[in-house]
Each structure stands twice: as C-alpha cells, then as structure tokens.
Amino acid sequence: LARPGDALLRLAAKLDPLEEHPYLLETLRVFVDHGHNRSRSASELCVHRNTLDYRLHRVTTLTGLDPAVPAEARLLQAALVARDLV
C-alpha cells in the first residue's frame, strides 16, 4: 500500500469527507498520535474532552469509520499515513 497506485489512493480517500473540516482531520491525527488517549488528545488540542468526543463522533459520521472500534481505528490510522504519502 505504500507504493503509488490505486490502493494507496483509495485508502487516502477514506478521509476525503474530512477535507471541508480540517479541524476534524487535525483532531483525528492528534488522537492517533496520542495512542487514542482522549485526555491527552483533548489537552494537546486545548479543548474540553466532550469537545474531543463530539469531533470524533463527527469523524465517524462523515467517514463511516469509528476510531473507538479497533479495526476501524487501524484503518483510519492507515488512511492518515496514506494521505501523507499521496
């Protein structure tokens, strides 16, 4: 998947619904970077933990992938990496 091609593009496209909401993409990236720790992520973003939860819920609504579900969280993390490579 790390090589240029259709699979990499499709994986990166999982995050396309967040294009119009850069703060959601940033929230997801911080959440992943902090090992899915909600308290540390909220602190890093300087938002209340409820705000973080709301944003993560919006990520789920827009992408159809829930960061609280391990398999979907891994897919979101891979999509972030793919997005960086594209």
CATH (domain of 51): 1.10.10.2840
| pTM (two decimals) | 0.91
pLDDT tens by residue, 52-84? 999 999 999 999 999 999 999 999 999 999 999
Residue 1 domain flag: no
Based on the structure, what is the number of domains in the chain? 1
Q: Which domain holds residue 58?
A: 6-85
Distance (Å) of CA 51 to CA 6, 12, 55, 69, 82: 35, 25, 6, 19, 27
CA-CA distance, 38 to 8, in Å (whole number)? 28
The tokens for 59 are: 């990520």
